[in-house]
Amino acid sequence: MASLPIATRDDLRPQRKRYHGQVFTLGEIEAVVAEFGMPGERWKTDPTMKYDKFIEVQVWDDRLINERLPQVDSPLSP
């Protein structure tokens, strides 16, 4: 994904925004979208949005893991 290189490479500084190179919770991403808007089609005409074509989402739910692990004292145990 483009977020980390934009956050760290000097040649990509013109495209860099506060949210690049960051990981957000659902509540936090809602605030980022409220501030900056959805990527939409702006990347086609705004050079500073060149790499902002989508929002990557990872959904984590440990319930399935907990169901399959033996019930022992574990940080994954509910």
User: Given a cut of 80, is residue 50 above it in pLDDT?
Assistant: yes
Full residue range of the structural domain in which residue 19 is found: 3-68
How many residues in total does the chain contain? 78
Domain count, the chain: 1
The answer to the question of residue 14 being in a domain is yes
Nearest to 21 by CA among 37, 8, 31: 8
CB neighbour burial string for 43-55, b if at least 16 within 10 angstroms, e if fewer: beeeeebebbeee
Q: Is this model's pTM higher than 0.85 or not?
A: no
The answer to the question of residue 78 being in a domain is no
The answer to the question of residue 77 being in a domain is no
The answer to the question of residue 46 being in a domain is yes
Nearest to 13 by CA among 50, 38, 44, 41: 50
More confident residue, 74 or 41: 41
The answer to the question of residue 7 being in a domain is yes
More confident residue, 65 or 49: 49
